[in-house]
Amino acid sequence: MKPRKKPIIKTALQPVKKDYSFLEEENRIDYVECRQLTFESLKDMRLVFDTVIFQNCLIQDNELDRSEFIDCVFDHCIFTNNRFTHGAFVRCEWKNSKLSGTQFIDSLIEDVLIQDSMAVYLNFASSTIKRLEIKKSKLSESVWFSNKQEDLVLKDVSLEKADFFETSLKDVDLSTASIAGMRIDLPQIKGAIINEEQAVAVCSLIGVKVNTK
C-alpha cells in the first residue's frame, strides 16, 4: 500500500475574512486561508481551489461541475449537501468537519484524509478513489456505488447501514469498523479483512445463517 501524500503548503497563506463576492467573475482561489466564510448554493460553476485552508467555513448546498480542490485543508467546516460532478480532490484533508449528504460523482479522490468527522449519507459514485483514509468518523448510511478504488483505509469508522455496490473491499481492513446493517454483494466483500466478532455479521451480508447456540 502506498502512503497517502499530504497537502503541500510550504508558504504562509494570506488570511481572508470576507466572503468571495467575486466568485461569479473569478473561478480560481489560491494560496489563502479562508476564515468563517460562506460558500452556499453555488450552481453550474467551475471553481478551482489551490493551496487553501478553510477554517470554520460554511460550504453547503453547492452543485459544481469540473471543479478542482488541490492541496486544501478543511478544519472545523460544515461541508454538507454538496454535489460535485467530474471534480478532482487531490491531497485534501477534512478534520473535525461535517460532510453529511455530500456527493462525489464521476470524480477523482486522490490522497485524501477524512478524520474526526461526521459523514453520514456521504455518496461516492462512479469515482476513482486512490489513497483515501477515513479515521474516527461516522459514515452511517453512506453509499459507495460503482467506484474504482485502491489503498482505501478505514480505521475506527461507523459503516452501519452503508451500501457498497460494485466497489471492491479487497484488502481493506474493516476490523475496527462498525458494520452492522451494512449491505454489500459477495464479490465486493471477498478479500476484506475482518475480526472474529464481525464474522457473523459478514455471513449475514452474504446470506449465510450462523447457528450461535
Quote the CA–CA distance of 139 and 162 in Å, as a whole number: 7
From 171, 176, 206, 207, select the one nearest 192 (Cα to Cα).
171
pLDDT the model gives residue 23:
60
pLDDT the model gives residue 197:
83
Instruction: Provide the mean pLDDT of the chain.
Output: 91
* Cβ–Cβ under 8 Å, residues 111 and 91: yes
Q: What does the pLDDT average to over 96-119?
A: 98
pLDDT the model gives residue 44:
84
pLDDT the model gives residue 206:
66
- CATH classification of 14-168 is 3.30.450.20, yes or no? no
Q: What does the pLDDT average to over 182-211?
A: 80
* Cβ–Cβ under 8 Å, residues 188 and 164: yes
Task: Give tens-digit pLDDT for 138-159.
Answer: 999 999 999 999 999 999 999 9
pLDDT the model gives residue 212:
66
| Domain chopping of the chain, boundaries | 14-168
Task: Give tens-digit pLDDT for 16-56.
Answer: 866 665 565 568 889 999 999 989 998 888 899 999 999 99
